[in-house]
Amino acid sequence: MESIEAIAENIEEYVRLTSQLEMTCNWYAIDFGASPLYNFRDALSHYILYYEATDDESRISQEASINEHLFRGTKDICVLILYEMKKRTLDAFIAANTRKEEQDFRKLLHEYKKLELEIRRNTESTIIRSLTAFVEKLNVTIENTKNLFQQYQIPFIYTSKVQKK
C-alpha cells in the first residue's frame, strides 16, 4: 500500500503527462477526447475516499481504483494520438509519388505499429509512471513524422486526406 503522498505524486505525474499530451493534441489538431478528464475526476473521487478510509482494505481498494483511472486516462489519450498519427502517415504513404517516399513512410508506419504493440502489451495498470517512457517515445516519433512530412512538403496538420501532387 502506497502512502497518501505517493498517490498524490502519481496524480501530479498524471497531470504533467496529460497536459503534455493535450498540448500535443492542440498543436497537431487532434481531438483530445474526454477520457483523460473523466478519469482524472474519478481518480480524485477515489482519492477523497482513500483519505477518508478507516481501514487498510478500503485504502487498498481506493488506491487500486486511483491507479487504474490514472493509467486508463493516460493510455486512452496515447492511443488516440497514436492512431491519428498512424492514419496521417498511412494517408501520406498512399499518396506517395516515389519509391523513396513510400519506403520512408513505410518505415514510419512500422514505428507506429511498434508503439501500438507496446501500449497494448503494457499491463502495469497500477503504475502511471510506466507510461512516461512510452510518451517520450511517442513524442520522438511524432517529431520524426513532422520532419518527414516537411521533407516531402506534405501538410502535417490537416482535416482531410492528403492529395496526390
Distance of alpha carbon 97 from alpha carbon 165, whole angstroms: 8
Asked, for residue 21, whether it belongs to a domain, the answer is: yes
160 within some domain: no
CA distance 130 to 119: 10
User: What's residue 124's pLDDT?
Assistant: 60
Is position 33 within any domain?
yes
153 φ, ψ to 5°?
55, 50
pLDDT score of 129: 72
pLDDT at position 158, please? 57
Whether residue 14 lies inside any domain: the answer is yes
Residue numbers of the domain that contains 31: 4-151
What's the confidence (pLDDT) of residue 160? Answer: 43
In a domain, 165, yes or no: no
162 lies in a domain? no
- pLDDT score, position 131: 86
* pLDDT tens per residue across all 165 residues of the chain: 899 999 999 999 999 999 999 999 999 999 988 999 999 999 999 999 999 999 999 999 999 999 999 999 999 999 999 999 999 999 999 999 999 999 999 999 999 999 999 988 876 655 677 788 889 999 999 999 999 999 999 988 754 444 444
Rounded CA separation 159/143 (Å): 19
For residues 138 and 108, give the distance between their C-alpha atoms in angstroms, rounded to a whole number.
12
Place of cell 493535450: 22
55 is a domain residue: yes
The number of CA neighbours under 13 Å toward the Cβ of 3 is 3
Q: How many CB atoms lie within 10 A of CB 98?
A: 9
What is the predicted pLDDT for the residue at 157?
77
Q: In whole angstroms, what is the distance from residue 70 CA to residue 78 CA? A: 12
Residue 18, classed as helix, strand or coil, is helix
Q: How many domains does the structure of the chain reveal?
A: 1
Q: Give the C-alpha separation, 140 to 157, whole Å.
A: 17
Q: How far is it between the farthest Cα atoms of the chain? A: 66
